[in-house]
Amino acid sequence: MADDNALPGRALPGLPGPPPPGASALPPGTYDGTVVLVTGGGTGLGKAIAAEFARLGADLVIASRKEDRLKAARDELTALGGRVTAAICDIRDPDRVAEVFDAAGEAYGLPDVLVNNAAANFPVPAEDMSPGAWSAVVDTTLTGTFLMTREFGRRHLAAGTPGSIIDVGASYAWTGGPGFAHSAAAKAGVKSLVETLAVEWGPYGIQVNGLVPGLMPHGDMTAEIRGNLDRARGVHDQRPADDMAARQPALRVGLPRELGWAATFLASPYARFITGHTLVVDGANWQRRGVVSPPVTTVREQLGRDPFEPFKGCPRREGRGSPAGAEEAPADSPVGPARPKARPNRSAEPGAARDSGADGQ
């Protein structure tokens, strides 16, 4: 597995690399006596965030659906010094969500910090997206975040105690995310929740912020997201392996611990007056614009398909049950009412050309 803590050898200038693993800008013990609950804390960026809180003394609760990954992460995180509880939970289920807080309460007490990091995502053209595909992403990313947040807020309001929430977002909450309509809509909802609840719950001492990672490759990335990385890297046309870095304004990718450091700052006593803010840690990738407009590449084309082939109904995915209605049609048989013919390339339309910067939003 690739080392998530190292940058590849760099022949390019660009933003300097970060301090080594284990370093911290905050004083040792900043989180002593503090309980931090991280959803999706068993993998990837969630685990990296949990690790930085653990290094600073926090007791951790990591919550997600898969026990094996949670247990492995618990062992890794425990080695950093703190106590770690793994709680199995599907954040889409309000009863399970309440149980996680009960388990945390029994182990250490009501969490002081909630990091809503769990999310679901895969690239799919919007026209191919089934209701189930939409729900799989939106119910986890937006509704799950809300349910965790509501439970945290309710319990703090009842106890009269302050707390801090960090919602992990994505920069396409601002820009839209072609190929990720479900996730972009959900992340826009998450950003709105941050701004809404910071005001609604500020009077009760609850701080709510967002935190957006840029391109931070890690060994737990799903095949779908990793596949996107590979597509962007251009493995099929044999471009050099450092091409991913060359596509970022920083001329490097981010490292997961850089997100962890930002999270520990946002929930720390040094950031108490920061609330309702979403901090982007992406080397300015999402701000990227050029002097010249890049050519438009359709989402279908980016996913290796014919961009203007007429829509034929949602393709069935191998090994899955049949979705309802028109989506039951095999990919090679047109269904339903006639569709408009493929439109000519619209890249000449005013405003159509824009560098989406879709990598690592």
Ligand X SMILES: CCCCCCCCC/C=C/C(=O)SCCNC(=O)CCNC(=O)[C@H](O)C(C)(C)COP(=O)(O)OP(=O)(O)OC[C@H]1O[C@@H](n2cnc3c(N)ncnc32)[C@H](O)[C@@H]1OP(=O)(O)O
Ligand Y SMILES: NC(=O)C1=CN([C@@H]2O[C@H](COP(=O)(O)OP(=O)(O)OC[C@H]3O[C@@H](n4cnc5c(N)ncnc54)[C@H](OP(=O)(O)O)[C@@H]3O)[C@@H](O)[C@H]2O)C=CC1
Q: Which is nearer to ligand Y, 119 or 165 (CB)?
A: 119
| CA neighbours closer than 13 Å in the CB half-sphere of residue 347 | 12
329 is written with which tokens? 């049609």
91 binds, among ligand X, ligand Y, none (CB under 5 to 8 A by kind): ligand Y
CA 334, 340, 344, 348 torsion-angle sign = negative
117 binds, among ligand X, ligand Y, none (CB under 5 to 8 A by kind): ligand Y
145 binds, among ligand X, ligand Y, none (CB under 5 to 8 A by kind): none
Q: What is the per-residue burial (b if ≥16 Cβ within 10 Å, else e) of 336-353?
A: eeeeeeeeeeeeeeeeee
By CB under 6 A, is residue 305 in contact with ligand Y? no
By CB under 6 A, is residue 357 in contact with ligand Y? no
Residues 6+ apart with CB under 8 A from 238: none
Q: Which is nearer to ligand X, 35 or 115 (CB)?
A: 115
Task: Give the integer Cα–Cα distance in Å for 287 and 132.
Answer: 32
By CB under 6 A, is residue 39 in contact with ligand Y? yes
Least distance CB 313 / ligand Y (angstroms): 28
Task: Give the integer Cα–Cα distance in Å for 229 and 215.
Answer: 9
Binding mask 234-263 for ligand Y (x = CB under 6 A): ------------------------------
Binding part of the chain for ligand X, among 94-102, 151-159, 201-209, 352-360 by CB under 6 A, reads 352-360
**270 is an active site residue:** no
Q: Which is nearer to ligand Y, 46 or 153 (CB)?
A: 46
Least distance CB 204 / ligand Y (angstroms): 25
Least distance CB 162 / ligand X (angstroms): 29
CA 311, 312, 318, 319 torsion-angle sign = positive
49 binds, among ligand X, ligand Y, none (CB under 5 to 8 A by kind): none
Pairing assessment for the beta strands 163-168 and 113-116 based on DSSP bridges: parallel
Least distance CB 109 / ligand Y (angstroms): 22
Binding mask 86-125 for ligand X (x = CB under 6 A): ---------------------------------xxxx-x-
- Say what angle helices 145-159 and 181-201 make with each other, to 10 degrees: 10
CA 49, 55, 59, 64 torsion-angle sign = positive
Interacting residue with ligand X among 236, 289, 320, 343 (CB under 6 A) = 320
Catalytic residue, candidates 108, 172, 204, 270: 172
Task: Give the integer Cα–Cα distance in Å for 217 and 220.
Answer: 9
Residues 6+ apart with CB under 8 A from 307: 297, 298, 300, 301
Q: Which of 181, 98, 176 shows the shortest CA–CA distance to 135?
A: 181
> Under rule CB under 6 A, which residues in 126-185 are in contact with ligand Y?
140, 144, 168, 170
Q: Which of 182, 121, 181, 123 shows the shortest CA–CA distance to 305?
A: 123
Note the residues at the interface with ligand Y (CB under 6 A): 39-40, 42-46, 64-66, 69, 89-92, 117-121, 140, 144, 168, 170, 213, 215-216, 220-222, 360-361
Residues designated as active site: 172
Note the residues at the interface with ligand X (CB under 6 A): 119-122, 124, 130, 132-133, 136, 170, 180, 183, 215, 222, 224-225, 228-229, 232, 317, 320, 323, 358-361
